[in-house]
A and B are shown apart, each in its own frame.
Chain A
Amino acid sequence: AQTVTQSQPEMSVQEAETVTLSCTYDTSESDYYLFWYKQPPSRQMILVIRQEAYKQQNATENRFSVNFQKAAKSFSLKISDSQLGDAAMYFCAYLHYQETSGSRLTFGEGTQLTVNP
């Protein structure tokens, strides 16, 4: 079974600074997807960024980027120019895609990010 580990239960960053959230995973599959979801106090699950394992290029979405190290099974999220609205719980998630039936997400334990003004 796949497992996802986030070793930082809490992180804090100053507004306008950069912060990196860590995630490692374990899988025997070669083709899979990785995601970062954000859960603000409203508890809505919001997709931040996704990475296809077969792509070597790291994904970026505006201020959010990832450092995907497939051999090390590491998938970290970098938030640049942090804003107060970035404060949330961040979940790393793994998915082994199965086209004919859909695929479950496996989540890490989450990292609570605080942004200090």
Chain B
Amino acid sequence: AAGVIQSPRHLIKEKRETATLKCYPIPRHDTVYWYQQGPGQDPQFLISFYEKMQSDKGSIPDRFSAQQFSDYHSELNMSSLELGDSALYFCASSLVTQETQYFGPGTRLLVL
């Protein structure tokens, strides 16, 4: 079965640079979620989209923005990167009518 695809899988950036993370949900899934997992921590909810509209917002820094496109893929844009942004970023998808979220493999971001 098709799974959630995230790209890139690994990303190394310098401080103050920008990064764009992409997420391709499971086919026919209409809702996308972004989570951030710092070293040794549990995943923290950042933001979600349903039918291309932001549906919920968590602890996402103002330096970050995200959107969902007409083909339901989503991008997380991160600017003015800080050392503390180094983390594993997960995308998950679901049908809005169902409660179970399926996670992608994550993007490991390292900010030097």
What is the interface of chain A, defined by CB distance below 8 A to chain B?
33, 35, 37, 42-47, 50, 91, 95, 97, 99-110
Interface residues of B in 64-109 (CB under 8 A from A): 88, 90, 92, 94, 96-97, 99-103, 105-106, 108
With A43-B88, A45-B43, A110-B42 in contact, is A102–B48 under 8 Å at CB? yes
Contact A104 B33 (CB under 8 A): yes
- Sample of 7 A–B contacts (CB below 8 Å): A43-B106, A43-B108, A45-B92, A100-B96, A102-B48, A105-B33, A105-B35
B-side interface residues, number (CB < 8 Å): 29
The answer, yes or no, to whether B20 is at the interface (CB within 8 Å) is no
Pair B43/A101 contact, Cβ less than 8 Å: no
- Cα distance, A45 to B35, chains bound together (Å): 11
In the bound assembly, the distance between CA atoms of A107 and B37 in angstroms comes to: 11
Give the number of residue pairs across the A-B interface with Cβ within 8 Å: 68
Could you tell me the dominant secondary structure of chain B's interface residues?
A: strand
A43, A95, A104, A109: the one within 8 Å of B42 (CB): A109
Q: Collect the chain B residues with CB atoms within 8 Å of residue A95's CB.
A: 99, 101
* In contact, A99 and B96 (Cβ under 8 angstroms): yes
What is the bound-complex CA distance between A2 and B59, given in angstroms?
15
| A contact residues around B96 at 8 Å (CB) | 99-102
Within 8 A of A (CB), among B43-60: 43-45, 48-50, 55-56, 58
In the assembled complex, which residues on chain B have CB atoms less than 8 Å from the CB atom of A99? 96-97
